[in-house]
Structure 1
Amino acid sequence: MLTVSIMLATLMQTLDSTIANVALPHMQGSLSASQDEITWVLTSYIVAAAIATPLTGWLSDRLSVKRLLTISVAGFTIASACCGLSETLAQIVCSRLLQGVFGAALVPLSQSILLDINPREKQGQAMAIWGMGVMVGPILGPTLGGWLTDSYSWRWVFFINLPIGIMALAGVAAFLPARAPRRGVRFDAFGFATLALAIGALQAMLDRGEQLDWFGSKEIVAEALIASISFAFFIAHTATAGKVSFFKRELLRDPNFAVGTFFIFIVGAVLYATRALVPPMLQNLMSYPVAAAGLVTAPSGAGTMIAMLIAGKLLKRIDSRLMLLAGMLISAFALWQMMHYTIVLSESDIVWPGVVQGFGLGLVFVPLSTLTFSTLTAELRADGTATYSLMRNIGSSIGISIVQTLMTRYTQVSHADLAANITAFNPAVQPLLASGSRMDIAMLDRGITQQAAMIAYLDDFKLMFVATLLVIPLLILIRKPGAYSTDVGAHAAID
C-alpha cells in the first residue's frame, strides 16, 4: 500500500510535466493571453521544479521524509486546484510556480523511499515500479490532456490531480513510518542561492531560447551569463566550504553514483529528446489531430512498461551492464527505423518504432537506476535521488532544446536547397510557372516547405541515432556493485 501511495504521487507529478502542453491554445483564448505569455504556464513550472529539487535532501533531514512528502503531496494537490480555478494569466502562473515547488520533491523522495523499504535483492523490481511512474507519466500526459481538453475543459487537466492527490496523501499518512528529523542540520544559504540561480537561469534559457532566436535575444544572453557566473561561484564555494557545503561531496566519491548520474544526463539528452519530435511531426506535417497523435504515440509507454517489468525480474540473473547495452542498441534500432520515415506513414509505421524505442528505454532505465544507488549509503539517498532527478531533467531540457533548434535550421537549409531547383529551366515546373496561377505557386511552395521539414526531422533522428551509438562506450565506466563492497563496508563502519 505504501508503494501504491507514493507511486500515485509520482504519477501525478510526472503527468503534469506534459499534460498541460496540448491545452495551451485553449488556455490562451480563455485567459486572453498572447502566444509568448501563455508559454509561461509551462516555463514557470519547469523553472520552479528545477530550483526546488536540490532542496529535497536538506528538507528531508530537517523535516523528516514523512512530513516532507505529506507537505509536498498536499501542496501539489492544492496548487493543482488553484490552477484549474484560475481566471487570469497571473493567477495560473503563480499556481504553476507553487506546483513546481511542491512537486519537486515527489520523484526523488519516492525513489529514495522505495530503495529504503526494499532489501537489495528486490531493489531492481522496486526501480522497475518507480520507473513506470516516471517514464509512463510524461508519455501518457499529452494523450490524457488532449482527451480531457476536447471532452470537458482545459481546467480538468489540473482537476484530474485532486482524486489522485487525496488518495496518495491518505496512503502516505497511513502507511509511511514516521522517523525523527536529524538535529543540527545546517543550511548553506550561499551554496543553495548560487545553485538555484544557475539552474533557474539555465532552464529559462533552454525553454525560451528557440522562441527568442537564442543569443540574438538580450533575455537569453542575460540568462546565459547569470547561469554561468552563478555556477562558477557554486563550484568554487562547494570546493572550499568544507562540511557546510549545500552539495554533499561524498556523493561524488561513490564511483557508481558519479558515473550513473552522468549517464542519466546523457540518456535524458539523447533518448528523451526524440519523444519531443514525433508528436509535432504528426500534427504539423501529416495533419493529425492532437488526440490522434497522442493515441499513436502512447503505445511506446506500453513498450516501456513491459521492458521495466522484464528488467526487474532479470536483474538477479543477468549482468546489469549487458541489459544497459541491449537497451541502448534497441533504442538505436528504433531511431534507425525513424530515419527512414517518409511524408506518407501508416499508423503501424509510427506505433512500432515507438514501442521498440520504449522497450529499449525501459531496459536502460531500470538497471541504470539500480546500479547508480547500489553502493550509496542510506544517509545519502535523499540527496542522491534529488541530484539524479535533477540531472535527468536538465539533460532532457538540453536535448529537447538542441533538436528543436536544429529542426528549425535544418528546415531553412533544406528549403533553400529544394527551392534552388525551382527555375524556369526545370521542365517539371515550367507548366506551373507558365500558368501564372498564384494558387499553383503557393501549393508548390507549401509542398517544398513540407518536404524540407520532413528532411529536417530525419536529420534530427539521424543525429540522435549517432549520439546513442556514441554513448554506448561509456558503459565500461560502470562496474558491478560487488566491485565496491569494501568501500561500502568502510562507509558503513564510519557511519
Structure 2
Amino acid sequence: MVTVSIMAAAIMNQVDTTIANVALPHMQGTTSASREQISWVLTSYIIAMAITTPLCGWLAERFGRRNVLLVSIAGFTLVSGLCGMSTNLEQLVGFRLLQGMFGASLIPIAQVILMTLNPPEERGRSMAIFGLGFIMGPLIGPLLGGWLTENYSWHWVFLINLPVGVLAFLGTWTYLPEKLDEDARPFDLFGFGLLALGIGAMQLVFDRGHAVDWFESTEIWIEASISALALFLFGVHCATTRHPFVRFEIFRDRNFAVSSALGLVVGVLMFGTMSLLPPMLAGLFGQPIMDVGVAMAPRGIGTFFATLIVGGLIGKTDVRLLALVGLGGSAISSLMLSTMSLQSDMTVVMVTGFLNGFAMSFLFVPLSTTSFATIPPEYMNEASAVSTLIRYIGSAAGISAVQVLTSHNEAVVQSRLTEGLRPDNPIICWARPGMDIGAVEGAGSATGEAVRQALMVAYIDTFWMLFLMCVIAMPLVLLLKKPPQHDMGGQSELRPLHAD
C-alpha cells in the first residue's frame, strides 16, 4: 500500500506536466487571455517546480521525508482544486505556481522512499514501478486532458486530481512509517537563492525563446546572462563555503555522475520526441486530437510491458547491458521515424512508439537504480533532488532544441524548394503536368506543397539528430560501475570537499 500511495502522488504530478496542454485554447477563451498570456499556465508550473526541486533534499533532512511528502500531497491536491475553480487568468497562473511548488518534492522524495524502504534485492523492482509512473504520466496527460476537456470542461483537468490526491494522502499517512533520524545541515539561503535565480532564468530562456526568436531578442540575452552569472556564482559559492546548498562531492561518485549525464539524454529523448509527434500528426497528417492520442498510446503499452521485465532483471543482469538495450531501442525508434514521408500511415508511429516506450524503461530503471547504488544514506535526499532537477533540465532543453532545429531546417528547406518553383523547371513539369505556376492558383498550390514538404524534411532531420544522440551516448554507459549485487548500497567513492 505504501508503494501504491506514493506512486499515485508521483503519477499525479507527472500527469499535470502535460495534461493542461490540450486544454489551453479552452482556457484562453474562458479567461479572455491572449495566446502569449495563456502560455503562462504551463510556464508558471514548470518554473516553480524547477526552482523548488533542489530545496526538497534539505526539507527532507530537516522535517523528515514522510512529513514533506504529506504536506506536498495535501498542498498539491488543495491547489489543484483551486486551479479548477479559477475564474480569471491571474488566479489560474497564481495557483499553478503554487501547484508547481508543492509538486516539486513528489518525484524525488518518492524515489528516495522507495529506495530506502525496500531491501537491496527488491530495489530494482521498486525502481521499475517508479519508472512506470515517471514515464507514463506525461503520456497519459494529453489523452486524459483532451477527453476531459471535450466531454466536460477544462476545469476537470485539475479537479481530477482531488480523489487521487485524497487517496494518496490517506494511504501515505496510514502506511508510511515515521522516521525522523535525518540530520539537517544549516540552510544555505544564499546558495539556494543563486540556484533558484539561475534555474528560473534558464527555464524562461527555454520557454520563451521560441516565441521571441531566441537570441534575436533582448529579453533572451538578459535572461541567459542572468542564468549564466547566477549559476557560475553558485558553483563558486558551493565549492568554497562550509555548508553548501549542494555538496559537489556527490558527483565524485562515478555512478551518480555518469547516470546524471545520461539523465539529461533521457530527458531529451523522452520529451523531445513527445513534443514533436503530436503537432506533426495533427498539422501534417490532419489527425484529430483523439486520434493523435490513440497513435501515442502504444508508447505507454511498451513502457508497461518493459517494466514487468526489467524489474526482474535488475540484480541478475549487468545494468550496463540493460541501459545499452534501452539506448539501442531508442536509436532504432528514432531511425525508423526518420524514414517517414507524407504518404506514411500511423502504423509507423504506433510501432516506433511501442519500441520507444519499451526502450525508455530499459534505460530509466537501470540508471535510477545504479545512480544511488553507492550513495551514502546521508546524501540520498540531496542526490535524488539533484538527479530529478537534471532530468527536468534535460526535458526543457530537449523540447527547446527540437523546436529550434525543426524550425530552422524548415526555413532552410522551404527556401531551397521555393527557389525551384519556376515554370521552366523540368521536374515541376514532370511531377505536375498542366499546372500553371504563373497563375495565382497554381502558385499558391505549389507553395503550399513546398511548405508541407519542407516541414516533413525538418521533422526527419530532427529524428535523425535524436538517433545520433543515442549512438553518441552509448559509450557513456560503459563508464558505469556495476554495483555489488549483494549490496546495492555498496562502497561509496565520496570524500568530503569541505572540512568541518
Structure 2 residue corresponding to 1:445, chosen from 447, 451, 463: 447
TM-superposed deviation, 1:476? 1.7
Alignment RMSD: 2.1
1:196 matched to which residue of 2? 196
Cα distance in 2 for partners of 1:53, 1:121 equals 29
* Alpha-carbon displacement from aligned partner over 1:327-356 (angstroms, at most 9, x marks no partner): 111111111110111112222221001101
1:462 matched to which residue of 2? 464
Query: Using a 3 Å threshold, how does the CA distance of structure 1 residues 125 and 443 change in structure 2: closer, same or farther?
Result: same
2:336 matched to which residue of 1? 337
* Alpha-carbon displacement from aligned partner over 1:137-173 (angstroms, at most 9, x marks no partner): 0011111111111111111111110110000010111
1:21 matched to which residue of 2? 21
Map residues 272-311 of structure 1 onto 2, 5 A cutoff: 272-311=271-310
User: Do residues 91 (structure 1) and 96 (structure 2) align?
Assistant: no
- Tell me, yes or no, if the aligned pair for 1:31 and 1:89 is still in contact at 8 Å: yes
Cα distance in 2 for partners of 1:319, 1:80 equals 42
* Alpha-carbon displacement from aligned partner over 1:263-313 (angstroms, at most 9, x marks no partner): 111222234312211111001101111111011112101101211221111
1:171 matched to which residue of 2? 171
Cα distance in 1 for partners of 2:300, 2:29 equals 31
TM-superposed deviation, 1:184? 5.8
TM-superposed deviation, 1:398? 0.6
Cα distance in 2 for partners of 1:443, 1:149 equals 35
Residue-pair matches, total:
493
TM-score norm. by structure 1 comes to 0.96
1:80 matched to which residue of 2? 80
Tell which deviates more after alignment, 375-384 or 359-368: 375-384
1:478 matched to which residue of 2? 480
TM-score norm. by structure 2 comes to 0.95
Cα distance in 1 for partners of 2:426, 2:482 equals 65
3-state SS of 1:482 partner: coil
Query: Using a 3 Å threshold, how does the CA distance of structure 1 residues 484 and 308 change in structure 2: closer, same or farther?
Result: closer
Cα distance in 2 for partners of 1:86, 1:490 equals 49
* Alpha-carbon displacement from aligned partner over 1:416-454 (angstroms, at most 9, x marks no partner): 111111112124656766475433322221111111100
**Letter of the aligned partner of 1:453 in structure 2?**
L
**Letter of the aligned partner of 1:42 in structure 2?**
L
1:358 matched to which residue of 2? 357
Tell which deviates more after alignment, 24-33 or 430-439: 430-439
Query: Using a 3 Å threshold, how does the CA distance of structure 1 residues 486 and 72 change in structure 2: closer, same or farther?
Result: closer
- Tell me, yes or no, if the aligned pair for 1:80 and 1:159 is still in contact at 8 Å: yes
Tell which deviates more after alignment, 253-262 or 321-330: 253-262
- Tell me, yes or no, if the aligned pair for 1:10 and 1:106 is still in contact at 8 Å: yes
Query: Using a 3 Å threshold, how does the CA distance of structure 1 residues 27 and 236 change in structure 2: closer, same or farther?
Result: same
TM-superposed deviation, 1:325? 0.8
**Letter of the aligned partner of 2:93 in structure 1?**
V
2:66 matched to which residue of 1? 66
- Tell me, yes or no, if the aligned pair for 1:251 and 1:257 is still in contact at 8 Å: yes
- Tell me, yes or no, if the aligned pair for 1:63 and 1:181 is still in contact at 8 Å: no
2:393 matched to which residue of 1? 394
Tell which deviates more after alignment, 422-431 or 362-371: 422-431
**Letter of the aligned partner of 2:81 in structure 1?**
A
- Tell me, yes or no, if the aligned pair for 1:268 and 1:396 is still in contact at 8 Å: yes
- Tell me, yes or no, if the aligned pair for 1:66 and 1:176 is still in contact at 8 Å: yes
Query: Using a 3 Å threshold, how does the CA distance of structure 1 residues 306 and 426 change in structure 2: closer, same or farther?
Result: same
1:420 matched to which residue of 2? 419
1:322 matched to which residue of 2? 321
Cα distance in 2 for partners of 1:253, 1:295 equals 44
User: Do residues 154 (structure 1) and 154 (structure 2) align?
Assistant: yes
2:410 matched to which residue of 1? 411
TM-superposed deviation, 1:132? 0.5
Cα distance in 1 for partners of 2:488, 2:145 equals 49
1:108 matched to which residue of 2? 108
- Tell me, yes or no, if the aligned pair for 1:375 and 1:484 is still in contact at 8 Å: no
3-state SS of 2:466 partner: helix
* Alpha-carbon displacement from aligned partner over 1:194-250 (angstroms, at most 9, x marks no partner): 0000000001110110111001112111110110000011000001002x1110233
2:374 matched to which residue of 1? 375
Q: What runs of 5+ residues in structure 2 fail to find an aligned partner?
A: none
3-state SS of 1:298 partner: helix
Cα distance in 2 for partners of 1:486, 1:31 equals 51
**Letter of the aligned partner of 2:404 in structure 1?**
T
Cα distance in 2 for partners of 1:55, 1:415 equals 46
TM-superposed deviation, 1:41? 0.5
3-state SS of 2:484 partner: helix
* Alpha-carbon displacement from aligned partner over 1:16-62 (angstroms, at most 9, x marks no partner): 00010111111111110111111111000000000000001110111
Cα distance in 1 for partners of 2:460, 2:80 equals 38
**Letter of the aligned partner of 2:475 in structure 1?**
P
Query: Using a 3 Å threshold, how does the CA distance of structure 1 residues 209 and 184 change in structure 2: closer, same or farther?
Result: closer
**Letter of the aligned partner of 1:459 in structure 2?**
D
- Tell me, yes or no, if the aligned pair for 1:149 and 1:157 is still in contact at 8 Å: yes
Tell which deviates more after alignment, 9-18 or 176-185: 176-185
Cα distance in 2 for partners of 1:490, 1:302 equals 37
Cα distance in 2 for partners of 1:487, 1:397 equals 31
